[in-house]
Amino acid sequence: MPKKPSPATFVKNIPHQHPGALPPLHLWQPELTGEMDIRIAQDGTWFHEGRPIRRQALVRLFSRILRKEDDGQFYLVSPTEKYRIHVEDAPFVALQMDVRHLNNRCELDFFTSMEDKITANKEHPIWVVTQDHQPKPYIRVRDRLDALISRNLFYQLVEIGEERVVDGERVFGIESAGMFFVLGAL
């Protein structure tokens, strides 16, 4: 039976990183060690053994070593261990947004529940899926990790959005960093 360490035990295997720097996850390729009873709820709350993890510093550390692999599963990775965890939707939630205007160009900066700052652009696209007849907007944070854009922010996006014709179809969307992101068809 695979071992199931506590989060505190697993943290000891993570090399110290400069504050703000992401660890080199692409270099860490350990074999699957097992599963850890950690779940990220749709609202971005992290749970261990059914209870919310209250130590925000620990949650933030885990968010920095989170990886989504080709199998679509999420893993916490250290140089020597890899544990599968459960993510209900996206691992992050975008909670705040700043609109900047630079040289007649709009840039949208999003801030996640894990204090990541992402500018919507080619590397960090925004897209919308429909689930139960409701729009669910997302933005790419890094690698294959996404943030669900909160309902409040989605309403703000709609307020600043505009109609355009894209590939012969009337759509509604927003522009950021010279890119137009479709929020929905009209």
For 7-87, CATH number?
Answer: 3.10.540.10
Structure tokens at 34: 């097992």
Domain spans of the chain, in order of start: 7-87, 92-185
Mean per-residue pLDDT, 12-21: 63
Q: Cα 67 from chain centroid?
A: 11
3-class SS of residue 122 = coil
pLDDT digits (tens, 9 = 90+) for 67-120: 999 999 999 999 889 999 999 999 999 999 999 998 889 999 999 999 999 999
Same fold, 7-87 and 92-185: no
Structure tokens at 81: 């261990």
Q: Which CATH class is domain 92-185?
A: mainly beta
Structure tokens at 165: 């014709």
pLDDT digits (tens, 9 = 90+) for 25-54: 889 999 988 999 999 999 999 999 999 999
184: nearest Cα among 99, 139, 176, 170: 170
Backbone angles phi, psi at 151, to 5 degrees: -55, -45
Question: Angle at CA 24, nearest 5°, toward 22 and 27?
Answer: 165
